[in-house]
């Protein structure tokens, strides 16, 4: 099979993006979840570092209190195709660095998503991705079966 990567005759790691380290930073717990193939909410990868929590000082201004916002509305939104591709590329780069053998699976999935968007428009691609990711995580956790 011919693709851009086989035509170049180069290793995909040579094509790594040269991004600002702050923009590329993914919290360790999220990076670990990605590598373990857990179901990761892709909008997490769009949020700036530290934006998923609220910090304030108590009344005596002595103790810093940090509250996590599990119901942050930014995590519930359906991604546009542009946001999806941006987050999926970040997700895939983390996974491919840890497991290079997953490159073909991930790029095939991205091709399916883009094809769905081109054929049907709207957010059908995102609904498909969320359903597939949830099913894959369920099969992996309960039956130890990996869906590609």
pLDDT at 89 over 70: yes
Report the distance separating Cα 84 and Cα 148, nearest Å: 19
Question: 32 pLDDT exceeds 60?
Answer: yes
Among the ranges 4-13, 68-77, 118-127, which has the highest mean pLDDT value?
118-127
The runs of H, that is alpha helices, within the chain are 4-8, 21-24, 28-35, 81-98, 103-120, 124-143
Residue 92, pLDDT above cutoff 70: yes
- Average pLDDT in the chain: 74
Q: Which residue has the tokens 């670990």?
A: 32
Give the three-class secondary structure for 67.
Answer: strand
Say whether pTM exceeds 0.85: no
Burial of 38 (0-12, 13-18, 19+ CB in 10 A): middle
Per-residue pLDDT at 14: 43
Looking at the chain, the whole-number percentage of residues with pLDDT higher than 70 is 64
Mean pLDDT of 79-88: 93
Q: How far apart are CA 58 and CA 43, in angstroms?
A: 30
Q: What are phi and psi of 131, to 5 degrees?
A: -65, -45
* Distance from C-alpha of 43 to C-alpha of 23, rounded to nearest angstrom: 14
* In the chain, where the domains are located: 19-50+76-143
pLDDT the model gives residue 146: 64
pLDDT for the residue numbered 59: 52
Give the pLDDT confidence score for residue 23 in this predicted structure.
43
Per-residue pLDDT band for 115 (boundaries 50, 70, 90) equals very high
Q: How far apart are CA 59 and CA 77, in angstroms?
A: 34
Region of poorest pLDDT, from 54-68, 92-106, 109-123: 54-68
- Between the alpha carbon of residue 105 and those of residues 22, 119, 147, the distances in Å are 28, 21, 10
b/e 79-90 (16+ beta carbons within 10 angstroms → b): bebebbeebbeb
Confidence of residue 39 (pLDDT cuts 50, 70, 90): confident
Q: What distances in angstroms separate CA 34 from CA 38, 53, 83, 101, 123, one per listed residue? A: 6, 21, 18, 15, 23
- pLDDT exceeds cutoff 60 at 70: no
């Amino acid at each position: 099979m011919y693709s851009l990567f086989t035509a170049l005759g180069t290793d995909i790691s040579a094509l790594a993006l040269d991004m600002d380290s702050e923009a590329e930073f993914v919290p360790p717990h999220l990076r670990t979840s990605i590598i373990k193939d857990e179901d990761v909410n892709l909008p997490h990868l769009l949020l700036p570092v530290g934006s998923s929590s609220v910090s304030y000082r108590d009344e005596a201004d002595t103790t810093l209190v940090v509250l996590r916002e599990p119901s942050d509305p930014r995590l519930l939104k359906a991604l546009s195709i542009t946001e999806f591709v941006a987050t999926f590329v970040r997700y895939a780069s983390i996974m491919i660095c840890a497991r290079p053998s997953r490159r073909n699976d991930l790029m095939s999935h991205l091709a399916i998503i883009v094809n769905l968007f081109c054929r049907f428009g709207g957010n059908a691609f995102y609904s498909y991705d969320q359903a597939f990711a949830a099913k894959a995580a369920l099969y992996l956790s309960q039956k130890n079966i990996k869906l590609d």
